[in-house]
Structure 1
Amino acid sequence: MLGAAILIGAALANPTSANAQDKLSLTGNAAVVSDYRYRGITQTRFDPALQVGADLGLPNGLYAGVFATNIKWIKAAGGKGSSEVDLYGGYKTELSKDLLLDVGVLRYQYPGNNYKQISTLNDNANTTELYGALTYGPVTAKYSHSLTSLFGVKDSSGSSYFDLTATFDLGGGWSVVPHFGRQVVANNSSWNYNDLALTVTKDFSGVVFGLSAVTVDAKNEGNYQVDNKFTGKSGLVLSAKYNF
């Protein structure tokens, strides 16, 4: 599961930009994280992940991108699938001074997964979401809405996620990033939860190191347990990312 700034791994792939592109641009990134957390939930059973991404900026504010990482949550549930490839595209524009709009579509793909066949309570893990975000100064409010079942939760099409994240530049290459998220799973309210994260980053000659404290407040932790271990338990995540 890609995407959401901060929750370390997702932040690496989440498409963000201050201004619409006037010409073609292509950038890439590579990262290692001590635990791939997405919306507070570990995707690697608290193990490290290697991640790569690329972003294509098109004229008039259009963009597209791809993100790839290893995962373990499908195999941990007894299925097949150890990778995630996310494809996204959208449009960014400046509505007024310091107010930016970003809208797009994001496809989470888990190649070769058989998650639906593991249990009658599962749907396919592959997920499609629409999203819209407003950024004012350092603060971004983002809403995501699933067009399919959400990450294999049966009959959960129409689920939503609200993300409120701020990025404060402290100078000298230091930044602090507080985050609040609210996951609402359609027709499955026992899966709803909140997640919180506080991240500090430091840019060392183009390599950005991060330390994130992550916690999840789940209504029913049993829905997110593997081997009797809550996959949203509070923890620290280390990361290093290089843009090129």
Structure 2
Amino acid sequence: MKTNVAAATTFALGLSLACGSAGAFELESAGLTVGVTPTISSDYLFRGVSQTQNRPAVQGTIDIQHTTGFYVGAFASNVSFLGTNARQEIDAMAGWRTTLAGVSLDLGGIAYTYPGYRNPASSGLYDLQYYELAVKAAYEIPSLPLPVKVLGAFNWSPNYQLESGNGYYVEGGLELGLPLDFTLAGRLGYQWIQNNTRWGSPDFANWNVTLSYKFSDFVLTAGYFDTSLSRSECFAGQKICEARGMVYLSRTF
């Protein structure tokens, strides 16, 4: 379904361009800000694990926020999971953003869905779809020679993917603004799953280091990504948890 995802991204781009002309007044008068971000990536990694069997991904994100801080959004990407017919992922997001004592906060929820995926009871497979509640925080340290941002996130699902019970994810990171519109960033996260046997791997850590370059409305990012999972621990010996380099290009409208 990669074509479907690309078509959805093209449609979102068209919507963004339309809003940037005739539709801008109506959106501003309603107190809304709309952002559309298409992305082309060498892989689709989620917490360090490939969602496309190590293949490229075409993705799109739309974010609509009101002046009160409340927002809704959506994300679409092609996916490929061994032993399933899932070909696309569409996530829905909603929440509230605010700033408190210099800390940017994002309190929300995410529903992960896979349209077209079929899970007949006779297949012995568990459901891919699930949802999470999420808290994100960001703080830029003042009075430094270069801008430094500290990031943190916590996600909880009462029934994580593949019906594997409670899932908890915590992540921390740093972003360093460099001259010439470069940004150096690092992330370290850890995923806990209640039922590891059903999920397919032990609890695991993931980390990455990336370098981004912003030019015009584009951002080009290259990075190194890895997890603590060995080949034997990775979903029946798959090669989707291994260290890899990755590059992706995105543009925000």
TM bracket (short chain)? 0.7 to 0.9
Q: TM-score, normalised by structure 2?
A: 0.79
Tell me which amino acid in the other structure corresponds to 1:165.
Answer: G
How far did residue 172 of structure 1 move? 1.4
- Choose from 179, 202, 206 the match for 2:217: 206
Q: Which has the larger radius of gyration?
A: 2
Where does residue 11 of structure 1 map in the other structure? none
Instruction: Quote the sequence identity (%).
Output: 23
1:139-218 alignment runs, 5 A limit: 139-148=150-159, 150-152=160-162, 154=163, 156-188=164-196, 190-218=201-229
User: 4+ residue stretches of structure 1 with deviation over 2 A?
Assistant: 114-120, 187-191, 220-226
| 3-state SS, counterpart of residue 71 of structure 2 | strand
Q: Contact 2:44–2:56 at 8 Å: present in 1 too? A: yes
1:51-70 alignment runs, 5 A limit: 51-70=59-78
Where does residue 110 of structure 2 map in the other structure? 106
How far did residue 140 of structure 1 move? 1.3
2:122 and 2:210 mapped to 1: Cα distance? 36
- Choose from 227, 241, 244 the match for 1:232: 241
| 3-state SS, counterpart of residue 167 of structure 1 | strand
| 3-state SS, counterpart of residue 221 of structure 2 | strand
1:90 and 1:116 mapped to 2: Cα distance? 33
How far did residue 165 of structure 1 move? 2.0
Tell me which amino acid in the other structure corresponds to 1:61.
Answer: G
Q: Contact 1:110–1:126 at 8 Å: present in 2 too? A: yes
Greater helix content: 2
Q: Contact 1:175–1:201 at 8 Å: present in 2 too? A: yes
1:83 and 1:26 mapped to 2: Cα distance? 24
1:135/1:116 CA distance change after superposition, 3 Å: farther
How far did residue 240 of structure 1 move? 0.4
Tell me which amino acid in the other structure corresponds to 2:133.
Answer: L
Aligned residues: 214
Aligned CA-pair RMSD: 2.1
